[in-house]
Structures are given as C-alpha cells and as structure tokens.
C-alpha cells in the first residue's frame, strides 16, 4: 500500500466496499462486474466549512427528489468503515442535504479497486436507472499503477459519452484525482492536468481534489494511511457539497 504522504500535494482547486477497517473488523469485498481486483484506491479534494449533523433529525420524503449517482472507487464506497451506509462521503452528502432540506436522493455505486477502464465497463449497467446528476470519481487507481494519463483521459471521455447517450438530461460532475508523487513530478503534473482538460473539452463541472485537507493527516485516515476515517469522509463531503448542490440546480 502507498501512504497518503505519497499523494500529490499539488491539489489546486477547480475542480467500496471491502477490506479491513481501522479497528481490524473485516469487510466482505464487493463483486466487481468489470473484473477489477478488489484493492484499495487513492484519490483526493478541498474542505469547505459546513456543519454536518451525525444523522438527520427527520427522515426526509425523497419522492421526486433529484437522484445523484456516484460512480466511484473505494473512497466512494466507504472502504474500511464500520458503517459505510452512514459514514461514506456520499452518505454524508445525503445527511447534509436532509439537514438543509434540499431534495436529493443519493445512489452510491462505489467499487473498490476499480480503474477508469473498469468504471467504463460498468457505466452502461449503472445507467439503467435514472440519474439527474452523475458524479464521476475514478482514475486514482490508474495513477497508483502508473497507467498512461492519455488512456485515463480517453476512458473518462468515453464514460461521459455513454452518460450523455443514455441520459442526455443528466448533469455531470468530474472529481479531481491525483497520482502518488513517487512516480515523478512530470507524471503527477500530467495526471493532475488531464481532469481539467477532459472537463473543459466535455464542458462539464470539475470538483476540487476530494481529500484536500484530509490526505496525509494521520488522525483523519485509517491505518492504511489512504482511506479516510468517518471524520475525514465528512470533510470530503463538505468539500464536494457546493459542487453537488450546484449540479442539481440548487446553488
């Protein structure tokens, strides 16, 4: 495993289940339709101040609420958390929306160990259900493996194309990812830049780096030094919330 200290610190703005928890509790790996190995993933983004209640006081009626589909990796799935359904960052997004009485329905499709190629293979299947906003959090495993950034960019473009063909009314949000710094400055810069390039070309929104303010902070991460603890996930959710709220038309 590569610790968060190896993740790129150059994380400007712009914009899974399975494995052992920090406390040693073992999780069952999620089956992967794309055949990707179930291994942890790395990624990142910046935290904005926003109160998050541990749970909404009132269960919201989400009938007719905008549906947000999170196509992601182990970070999205909540790898290693005791209660991913409550503590993963997409689950916290739901809690934020409920606490603010913003209509929203979260669908968490995070899958541990998935590369952008695996996400592309899964996209058709995931789009069988309606989505008003698709949040694309993928590619960090590409960076972890040192894959060609051009290939990652091509996969992201293809994912965007599939979403637009299947659900032309859906908005898209691409989450900035980073590569580990041990692969060299040139690679990490090229990897960082591909997200902005794809977003500009496709004319879609780009979120900040998911774990900005969380990566490399020991008290916010599990023992693997990669995946956030519940507080780290809450900070990541606060980082993404403004982009998600804007994506569903509630600026």
For residue 205, give the H/E element and its range: strand 205-209
Q: Is 227 a catalytic residue?
A: yes
Give the three-state DSSP class for 105. Answer: strand
Which of 16, 43, 224, 243 is the catalytic position?
Answer: 224
Residues 185 and 191: their CA atoms lie apart, in Å, by: 10
Residue-number span of the structural domain to which 157 is assigned: 35-49+65-247
Structural domain includes residue 26: no
Query: Into how many domains does the chain fold?
Result: 1
Which of 98, 192, 227, 243 is the catalytic position?
Answer: 227
Per residue in 112-158, pLDDT tens?
A: 999 999 999 999 999 999 999 999 999 989 998 999 999 999 999 99
* CATH assignment at residue 115: 3.40.50.1110
DSSP class of 157: H
Which of 74, 88, 116, 207 is the catalytic position?
Answer: 74
Nearest alpha-carbon partner for 222 in 241, 206, 214: 214
Name residues whose C-beta falls within 8 Å of residue 5's C-beta, 6 or more positions apart in sequence: 216, 225
> Can you give the pTM of this predicted structure?
0.77
Q: Is 150 a catalytic residue?
A: no
| Choice between 22 and 153, residue whose per-residue pLDDT is larger | 153
Per residue in 27-45, pLDDT tens?
A: 333 334 444 443 333 333 3
Per residue in 153-208, pLDDT tens?
A: 999 999 999 999 999 999 999 999 998 888 999 999 999 999 999 999 999 999 99
For residue 70, give the H/E element and its range: strand 67-72
């Amino acid at each position: 495993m590569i610790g968060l200290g190896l993740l790129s610190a150059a994380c400007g703005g712009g914009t899974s289940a399975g494995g052992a928890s920090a406390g040693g509790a073992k999780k069952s790996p999620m089956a992967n339709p794309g055949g990707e190995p179930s291994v942890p993933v790395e990624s990142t983004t910046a935290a904005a101040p926003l109160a998050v209640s541990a749970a909404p006081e009132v269960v919201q009626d989400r009938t007719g609420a905008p549906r947000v589909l999170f196509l992601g990796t182990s970070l999205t799935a909540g790898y290693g958390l005791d209660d991913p359904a409550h503590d993963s960052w997409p689950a916290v997004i739901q809690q934020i929306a409920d606490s603010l009485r913003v209509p929203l329905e979260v669908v968490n499709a995070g899958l541990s160990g998935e590369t952008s190629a695996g996400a592309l293979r899964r996209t058709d299947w995931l789009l069988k259900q309606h989505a008003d906003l698709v949040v694309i959090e993928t590619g960090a495993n590409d960076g972890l493996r040192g894959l060609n950034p051009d290939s990652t960019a091509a996969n992201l473009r293809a994912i965007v194309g599939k979403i637009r063909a299947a659900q032309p009314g859906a908005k898209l949000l691409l989450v900035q990812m980073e590569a580990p710094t041990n692969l060299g400055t040139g690679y990490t810069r090229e990897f960082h830049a591909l997200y902005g390039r794809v977003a500009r070309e496709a004319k879609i929104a780009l979120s900040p780096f998911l774990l900005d303010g969380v990566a490399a902070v020991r008290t916010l991460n599990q023992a693997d030094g990669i995946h956030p603890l519940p507080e780290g996930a809450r900070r990541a959710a606060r980082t993404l919330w403004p982009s998600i709220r804007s994506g569903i038309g509630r600026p």
